[in-house]
Structure formats: structure tokens, C-alpha cells
Amino acid sequence: MSVKTKSPARVPLLEEERMHSARVFAGYQHATWEMHHIPWEEFRSDLVLPEHIVFVKGAIVGESNVIAATHGLLNEFDTDYDFSQFACIWGYQEIQHHLAFQTWLQLAGNSIEHSTIASMREAYPPGVTRAATLATNVICEVLATHAYKCVSRSMQEPVLAEILKKVSGDEARHAREFVHYTAQQLSEKPEECASVLETLYIYMGTSRDLYRHPVSRFKGNLPELENHESIDEMFAYFAEVDEGGTEWAKCCEQLFRYFSTLTGYQLTKMSEVRRAIAEESLRGMASV
């Protein structure tokens, strides 16, 4: 005799045009993962290399920045309920990344001092504009997406490889939503376009910024991180395993596509970003 199982109820989509975060929440519940989805029992200590430990410690320091970042976003967007709700959803997922990496590190027989993680707590000050803050997060998420994806392909230890693939997928989804909110901000405040272009140039405009993350700019010199792994070590390992710079090139191409869509300028190289900044500056002067 067969037993019929009850199908899960279909959740109605909340029809509230001012609450994009509600649709994000519904979508993330289908696409996201939980800690018990990681095959922890498949951990292979014999496949853990010293450089994996350094990479994961750097990832933990980077991901533990989420509390400060969420705090900063909630402060800066204190009048925007929809985005603030998204920031909470985003923050929850980033916390999971941090804890997944810490759990793996423990399995590998290592740990990080709590004081090191706690040093990342200080909130960020408001950005030059709201659009610039959002654009910075677009860059952060795209860089993380490609770093984790690239390292996952080279990773032999199966548990860490699985964590990296799942985290990379999360970061890609986060990037798309930060693009959405940046576009929304620019539609309301088009005069902030110059700050978005400047943000791209500041973080991606010179060769010294290859394989570097914005968090490094803000918190790379914390006294608590002296002689300790940071997000710089995480990205240094990304550079080591990125044969021929293929993944970094894809990362830059994606950023140019996103920022072209956001600003209305055709951007494929940094000289075009500089030109667009100059045009926005002239436009701003003409409107005064």
C-alpha cells in the first residue's frame, strides 16, 4: 500500500512593488543552502595543504566583516525600509559563510583568535553617496564570487570545495541585488552617477589593485591583523591558482558590464571609465 506524501504548500508571492526584498527573500529560500547541506563527514585531512589553511583564515577575516558592513548599511539607509530588509537577509547569508569556513578550519585542526574576528566589528562610515556605497558592494560581491569559484576548481579537499561552490553562488546572487539597488538609487538621484564611476576606478583602476578586495583598503591595516592572515592572503591564493589570469579577466568583464548598465556608458577598459568620469564632471559643472 503506497503512502501519499503531502506536497509543500505553494507560498503566494507578495505583490508589493516597494518591497523588492520580499521577492529576494522568496527566491533565496529556494536557492540558498544550510550548514547541514555540507558533507562534513567527507572531510579529508590528508588533502589539506598549508596554503589552504592560510586561504581559509583570510576568508574568515574577510567574511567576519559582515557585522560591520550590515551595521553601516542600516545606518546609511535608515530611511529605506526595503533595502534595509535586504541588508538583513544578505547579512544572514554572509554570517553563514563565516561560520562555514570556521567550522572547516576547526576540522583541519586550526583556529582563529576571537579577538582577531572581533577587530572587524567597527562599522563603516557613510559613503560619499548612497549609490557609491552600493556600487562598492557590487564590486565586493563580484570579486568574491570569482575568487571562490576559481579556488573551488583547484581544491582537492571535498568539503572545502563544496563550501566554496555554495558560497560563490551566494555572492553572485548578492551582486545582482546590489546592482538592482544601485540602479534604483541612480534613478532617484542621477547626479550620483559620477560617484559610481569613481568607485569603480578607485578599486579597480590600477595594476596594483589586481587580486585585491575593497575590505583590504578599509581594514587591512588594523593593528589586530598585524602578522595575521587577512583577506589579502585569500586573494593572493586566488592569484596563484588563477592560471593565465582567466578568472580575473572574467571578473573585470562582469564589472564592466554591470557598471555599463548602471551608468549608461559603454565601459570595457579603465580609460573609458576615466573619460566617463570627466564627462560627468563637465555635466555637473554645466548644471550649476
Task: Compute how many other C-beta atoms are within 10 angstroms of the C-beta atom of residue 213.
Answer: 24
Check if the beta carbon of residue 55 is closer than 8 Å to that of residue 63.
no
Check if the beta carbon of residue 219 is closer than 8 Å to that of residue 225.
yes
Read off the pLDDT of each residue in 72-93 and give the average, rounded to a whole number: 96
Q: How far is it, in rounded angstroms, from Cα 267 to Cα 177? A: 20
Which range, of 17-26, 30-39, 99-108, averages the lowest pLDDT? 17-26
Q: What is the pLDDT of residue 128?
A: 94
Q: What is the pLDDT of residue 273?
A: 95
Share of the chain above pLDDT 90, in %: 70
Q: How far is it, in rounded angstroms, from Cα 252 to Cα 69? A: 23
Q: What is the pLDDT of residue 195?
A: 96
Check if the beta carbon of residue 100 is closer than 8 Å to that of residue 167.
yes
Read off the pLDDT of each residue in 3-11 and give the average, rounded to a whole number: 60
Please state the pTM of the whole predicted model: 0.90
Check if the beta carbon of residue 237 is closer than 8 Å to that of residue 55.
yes
Which range, of 18-32, 48-62, 201-215, 263-277, averages the lowest pLDDT? 201-215
Q: What is the pLDDT of residue 10?
A: 66
Q: What is the pLDDT of residue 282?
A: 83
In whole numbers, what is the pLDDT of the chain averaged over residues?
89
Tell me: pLDDT of 1 over 60. Answer: no
pLDDT tens-digit profile of 86-140? Answer: 999 999 999 999 999 999 999 999 999 898 888 888 878 888 999 999 999 999 9
Q: How far is it, in rounded angstroms, from Cα 140 to Cα 63? A: 11
Pick the CATH number of 46-189+212-220+228-243 from 2.40.50, 1.10.155, 1.20.1260, 1.10.10: 1.20.1260
Tell me: pLDDT of 200 over 90. Answer: yes
> What band does 257 get if pLDDT is binned at 50, 70 and 90?
very high
pLDDT tens-digit profile of 149-174? Answer: 999 999 999 999 999 999 999 999 99
Q: How far is it, in rounded angstroms, from Cα 174 to Cα 168? A: 10
Q: What is the pLDDT of residue 170?
A: 97
What are the CA-CA distances from residue 59 to residues 82, 108, 148, 221, 278 (Å)?
29, 15, 9, 16, 36
Of 208 and 51, the structure prediction assigns the larger pLDDT to: 51
Of 219 and 217, the structure prediction assigns the larger pLDDT to: 217
